[in-house]
Amino acid sequence: MSSNKLATLANKRILLGMTGGIAAYKCAELTRILIKAGAEVRVVMTKAAMEFITPLTMQALSGNRVHHELLDADAEAGMGHIELARWPDLVLVAPASADFLARLAGGHAGDLLTTLLLASKAPVALAPAMNQGMWLNAATQNNLLTLQTRGYTLLGPDSGSQACGDTGPGRMLEPAALAEACASLFSPGWLTGLRIMITAGPTREAIDPVRYISNHSSGKMGYALAAEAAAAGARVSLISGPVNLTVPEGVQVVQVVTAREMLDACLAGIDAQDVFVGVAAVADYRPAEVVSHKIKKTTDTLQLSLVRNPDIIGTLAARSPRPLMVGFAAETDNVEAYGEDKLTRKRLDLLFANEATTTFGSDAICATALWHGTEPHQIMSNVLGPAGKSLVARQMLSLIHTRWLAAQQ
């Protein structure tokens, strides 16, 4: 490990939350590495953690008194639990036991560490450590999913031989790897190097030189995803229909009007992408022919003949090799059922289904993420929001990143 990988830890305030697990002994070395890299470390231990390693050891290594009581008049007179919650730049829970993850997911506040985490606005990283059976249990996995979609970062676990004699996933990351992972959380760029193409906004299909068919898509969701992905270091190529939005900093944009132009722009760049996210509300039909002059209102009725537009995401998903394919489904009813159907029918890797009428043009969104599980016909789901489109965009990117990492294995 080169020392410059830890450079971003200098002067950072790290609150190390320790819960009960044999891996707690690794926190001694972890604290030493963090301090050596210039971080300030305060330690909070649960009762169970103190069964494995003494507060005195952690106090000697961190140079600060260890906090472990929620209701302690002496401690509250010094740095009280709310002050402590406001203090860190990062909360790192290591080891994070299965029981602790369950309590955190449930919003419990029965001890100092869970109370701090409920009160704190600092980013939180979790380094799980447990027996492989406990790790693989659906209850633990559900809790993790809940925590990840709330914005908690998961560091590890590793796989290998365990203290209990088992072999499998659940080992806490080694101290050096954990310190490096913490350092990378302070450098912008958790998506660094990932190439993402995003379509956004509506398309417009001309009827004559002054009229067109379109829809109410504002482009806000696609632009929020582009902005958040670029801010996280991804190389973003945005293929945008006509919208009234500013192109986010660092985003390459191709402006298009029609569905066929959007498809051509996507095809021109798709081979260089790791991920494709189709957020655009592509017009499903276009006039069979565009009248070259303005149509005069000389008749009481007007017949328009429409033809199907190409399905952009479907066309791209049929290619091989292809990037990770992520779709959206805006529906007015049966949101989840139509979403599941679209995930399978369009051969997508991940789909975000949402209710159309409350979402178009709005700054907020509630979406259900749907993807295939490891069992045949198994569909996994997770609800994101309701929250602002920027926050939900970050949660979506976190899921996209997880699916992309899984697809690389």
Dump strand ranges (E) for 131-234. Answer: 153-154, 158-161, 167-171, 195-200, 205-208, 211-213
Residue among 39 and 325 whose Cβ is closer to ligand C5P? 325
Distance of CA 14 to the CA centre of its chain: 22
Q: Which is nearer to ligand C5P, 81 or 286 (CB)?
A: 286
Binding residues (CB under 6 A) for ligand C5P: these are 199, 259, 278-280, 282, 284, 309, 311-313, 327-329, 342
Write down the least CB distance from residue 246 to ligand C5P, Å.
21
Q: Is 84 exposed, middle or buried (0-12, 13-18, 19+ CB in 10 A)?
A: buried
Q: What is each CA distance from 82 to 62, 72, 77, 210, 357, in whole angstroms?
A: 20, 13, 12, 61, 41
The residues, any chain, with a CB within 8 Å of residue 277's CB and separated by 6 or more, are 196, 197, 198, 199, 222, 225, 326, 327, 328, 400
Among candidate residues 169, 172, 38, the one with its CA nearest the CA of residue 96: 172
| CB nearer to ligand C5P: pick between 342 and 394 | 342
Closest CA to 282 of 240, 220, 224: 240
Residue 353 C-beta: closest distance to ligand C5P, Å = 9
For the beta carbon of residue 199, count every other beta carbon within 10 angstroms.
Answer: 30
Please, which residue, 219 or 278, has the CB nearer to ligand C5P? Answer: 278
Instruction: Please state, in angstroms and as integers, the Cα–Cα distance from residue 399 to each residue in 221, 286, 380, following that order.
Output: 16, 34, 12
Q: Could you tell me where the DSSP H helices lie in 2-80?
A: 26-36, 55-62, 73-77
Report the SS3 class of residue 174.
coil
Q: Which is nearer to ligand C5P, 75 or 197 (CB)?
A: 197
* Cβ-based nearer residue to ligand C5P, 342 or 401: 342
Q: What is 90-144 written as a DSSP string?
A: EEEEEEE-HHHHHHHHTT--SSHHHHHHHH--S-EEEEE---HHHHHSHHHHHHH
Residues 59 and 182: their CA atoms lie apart, in Å, by: 21
Q: What are 69's two structure tokens?
A: 């009581």
Spot the catalytic one: 27, 164, 266, 366: 164
- Which tokens belong to 237? 């190529």
Write down the least CB distance from residue 194 to ligand C5P, Å: 19
- The nearer residue to ligand C5P, 26 or 342, going by C-beta atoms, is 342
Work out how close the CB of 312 gets to ligand C5P at its nearest, in angstroms, rounded to a whole number.
Answer: 3
Is 164 tagged catalytic?
yes
Tokens 């009229």 locate to: 211
Q: Which of the residues are catalytic?
A: 164
